[in-house]
Amino acid sequence: MIDMKFLRENPDAVKENIKKKFQDHKLPLVDEVIELDAEARKTQQEADNLRAERNKLSKQIGALMAQGKKEEAEEVKKQVAAEAQRLEELAEKEKELNEKVTKIMMTIPNIIDPSVPIGKNDSENVEIQKYGEPVVPDFEIPYHTDIMEKLNGIDLDSARKVAGNGFYYLMGDIARLHSAVISYARDFMIDRGFTYCIPPFMIRSNVVTGVMSFDEMDAMMYKIEGEDLYLIGTSEHSMIGKFIDTIIPENELPKTLTSYSPCFRKEKGAHGLEERGVYRIHQFEKQEMIVVCKPEESKMWFEKLWQNTVDLFRSMDIPVRTLECCSGDLADLKVKSIDVEAWSPRQKKYFEVGSCSNLGDAQARRLKIRVNGENGKYFAHTLNNTVVAPPRMLIAFLENNLQADGSIRIPKVLQPYMGGKTEIR
């Protein structure tokens, strides 16, 4: 959420940012919120003046009563009572206006970083760098669920009967591989100085609206019926929420956490052939990383976070590339974002396996995450990045480690988590 003072003083910059994100329908909101804010401040000023006047009159009443001037005191009391009623009206009006201002401010997109390429959607994202040599073997690579089924590693039919489409049973060595990847990712991040955490898997609505836009919330979140609780779509939601309404001493920053959680997503809309199987599902597990830091350090941490994901995948011999997300592909709270994509030998192209985002002070402003520094309090910056989400990572892993005889090679870094196995057969 943008600072209201910044918007008030820089309306043209905010409008230009909206245009860069191709959300021209939101342009009228800038002038509307400025008018509402002006009216709210005017109402507050009137209320403050009335309170000062009432305090002055209250002292007069005491003085008049001390002098025995009861009739004059009663007249002043009537005036105080009338002003009290007006104060109630003003307080209600101010509350209503502030709620309208907040609602609009939560739909105006955050100011993107100047380095972000301008484009309408993900088709205009820009490749930054490739890591590792993409290889297409001289044998056919089956669809990922076919690979799993041949190894008795997945049961989609039973899952469909139990929970519907978008769910699966992982079995045997494939299930073990899934857990091995999560455990390895956990230890990988701990070795890089991050504190391991298992968060709540449900969060309240004020945390949901604090960490994401309304559009994201509607497209992703499952609500618990009859409760003010939502299932998390990623542990980042719960992890950033951990710091809600806190004041962090500056010398305790940065907060660097890596978290495990299941994730639950609606995944609305029709999906193509390559998004079947375990690519786009309603329930999966994930290792995440988040950082809460000083504003001047967020760019540095952004670079470190996406590099962690690249290093993790390369340690398992999976070629990857990084993409800079264009303006139209950024969610409203994001300042800058980089996707990490893994190589698919079957499709002969890369596909997304993780996303790293710098949200500036947007989440901190919504959740009131402040830092107590030498020169006073200020809002922290928050960042998040996928360490690994095994369903998609498994696709990349199986395709890149499939051998001609149908067995799966286990890279050295995962062998300790697989009981020393070097292959899955």
**CATH number given to 122-424:** 3.30.930.10
Radius of gyration of the chain (CA): 27
Q: pLDDT by residue for the chain (425 residues), tens digit each? A: 899 999 999 999 999 999 999 999 999 999 999 999 999 999 999 888 877 777 776 677 666 676 777 677 666 667 667 677 778 888 889 999 999 999 999 999 999 999 999 999 999 999 999 999 999 999 999 999 999 999 999 999 999 999 988 899 999 999 999 999 999 999 999 999 999 999 999 999 999 999 987 777 878 899 999 999 999 999 999 999 999 999 999 999 999 999 999 999 987 654 444 446 677 789 999 999 999 999 999 999 999 999 999 999 999 999 999 999 999 999 999 999 999 999 999 999 999 999 999 999 999 999 999 999 999 999 999 999 999 998 889 999 999 999 999 999 999 999 999 999 999 99
Please state, in angstroms and rounded to a whole number, the distance separating the CA atoms of residues 396 and 350. Answer: 9
Q: Can you give the length of the chain in residues? A: 425
Please state, in angstroms and rounded to a whole number, the distance separating the CA atoms of residues 394 and 388. Answer: 10
- Kindly report the three-state secondary structure assignment for every residue of the chain: CCCHHHHHHCHHHHHHHHHHCCCHHHHHHHHHHHHHHHHHHHHHHHHHHHHHHHHHHHHHHHHHHHCCCHHHHHHHHHHHHHHHHHHHHHHHHHHHHHHHHHHHHCCCCCCCCCCCCCCCCHHHCEEEEEECCCCCCCCCCCCHHHHHHHCCCEEHHHHHHHHCCCCCEECHHHHHHHHHHHHHHHHHHHHCCCEEECCCCEECHHHHHHHCCHHHHHHHCEECCCCCCEECCCHHHHHHHCCCCEEEEHHHCCEEEEEEEEEECCCCCCCCHHHCCCCCCCEEEEEEEEEEECHHHHHHHHHHHHHHHHHHHHHCCCCEEEEECCHHHCCCCCCEEEEEEEEECCCCEEEEEEEEEECCCHHHHHHCEEEEECCEEEECEEEEEEEECHHHHHHHHHHHHECCCCCEECCHHHHHHHCCCCEEC
Q: Is the dihedral of CA 12, 15, 21, 22 positive or negative?
A: negative
Whose CA is closest to 372, among 294, 257, 303, 313? 294
Say if pTM beats, i.e. exceeds, 0.85: yes
pLDDT in the model for residue 64: 65
Please state, in angstroms and rounded to a whole number, the distance separating the CA atoms of residues 108 and 19. Answer: 11
pLDDT in the model for residue 76: 64
Domain ranges in the chain with CATH number 3.30.930.10: 122-424
Q: Is 33 exposed, middle or buried (0-12, 13-18, 19+ CB in 10 A)?
A: buried
pLDDT in the model for residue 88: 83
Q: How far is CA 398 from the centre of its chain?
A: 29
Please report how the helices 172-191 and 298-315 are oriented relative to each other, as an axis angle in degrees rounded to 10. Answer: 140
Asked if 332 and 214 count as a contact pair (C-beta separation under 8 A), the reply is no
**β-bridge mates for residue 355, sequence order:** 339
**CATH number given to 4-105:** 1.10.287.40
